[in-house]
Homo-oligomer: A and B are copies of this chain.
Amino acid sequence: MRPTVHDIAKVAGVSLATVDRVLNARPGVREGTISRVNAAIDTLGYVRDVAAANLARQRDFNFVFVLPDRDTAFIAALRDEIAAVQSHARTDRMTIRRVDVSPHDPQAMVAALHRLADEGVDGVAVMAPETPQTRDAVRRLRAAGAQVVTLVSDIQASDRNHFVGINNLAAGSTAGVLVGRFLGARPGKVLVIAGSMLNRDHAERRLGFDRVMQADFPHLDVLPTLEGRDDAAHIAAVLPEALARGDISAIYSIGAGNRGLVRVLQGMDAPRIVVVAHELTPTSRAALEDRIFDAVITQDTGHMIRSAARVLRAYAERREIIASQERIRIDIFLRENLP
């Protein structure tokens, strides 16, 4: 049988009230008594029953996901996963909301975070660009007592408790190795398509990619970034021209808008181009299956959302987090190991 607070009281020779004061760090207990209680806790191997504790204190955690109001498949996947977590959260005394913020209006994000701080939520998972303003907004959230987790792209030097996402430099390097090794010895040009180099994630991926290409595959000629604006239509419009300049043997698609890329490649009967893209979506999945894409590098959206919720909860309950469980992997998917 698990030891309870009553057992602690008995062993320590104090009353229940005192045990409670020690356990919940309330004032009014002498040093010596505190250590006597702690000793009893240790000998008994007492572990607080969190379920009972939450029940007693009527806690209902209030967490909010703040996402850019964009229309990419990746964001859509995140939304779906949030919806999934929402339904299961209720079982667990948590309420999860989602707030969509225009990505084009820098003020909107900050305003949304300020509002949440004033509202007094228990925790916020935020996917936002790293600017001095967002940094401050995160600090304010933390000061208001909220736990904060940054999602997908980190906001450094803010007070955020945790970052849920991958190392994009490493992701870019991984893409580089795949492109290089899949191409083999034959020289050729490599086209890189990104959303925008102002986007930190994209810039980091590009950097990691370039490093590997220079170091390990110097015979390949990596072209300057083609800005695709994360937009399928735009990519479909500008890509043919870029390809027409000739001798493209591989494409690295850093950002969103893969639907445009697939459309163009499907319409070609040119020699096979090695394609490595990011994010596993219905489009990229189908492209892998059709052998239009050779590899997709992705971060498990379900894992990320669940991890964010778990971490927020753990911080709110002052519980330890399991590092290995919360580490988001850089997943590589080929046609053969699709989940």
Which residues in A have some Cβ–Cβ distance to B below 8 Å?
2, 47-52, 54-55, 60, 84, 88, 90-93, 170-171, 173-174, 176-178, 181-182, 184-185, 208, 212, 294, 297, 300, 302-303, 306, 319, 322, 324-325, 327, 329-337, 339
25 contacts between A and B (CB under 8 A): A2-B60, A2-B93, A47-B90, A49-B55, A50-B51, A50-B92, A51-B55, A51-B92, A51-B93, A91-B319, A170-B336, A171-B337, A173-B336, A173-B337, A174-B337, A177-B336, A178-B334, A181-B294, A184-B184, A297-B337, A300-B329, A302-B324, A306-B325, A332-B333, A332-B334
Among the interface residues A90, A173, A332, which one has the most CB atoms of the partner chain B within 10 A? A332
- A330–B322 touching, CB < 8 Å: no
- B184–A336 touching, CB < 8 Å: no
- B331–A329 touching, CB < 8 Å: yes
- B88–A322 touching, CB < 8 Å: yes
- A52–B49 touching, CB < 8 Å: no
Whose C-beta in chain B lies nearest to the C-beta of A84? B322
Min CB–CB distance A181 → chain B (angstroms): 5
In angstroms, Cα B184 to Cα A262, docked, is: 24
- Across the interface, A55 reaches (CB within 8 A) one of B55, B332, B333, B337, namely B55
In angstroms, Cα B84 to Cα A236, docked, is: 49
In angstroms, Cα B170 to Cα A306, docked, is: 26
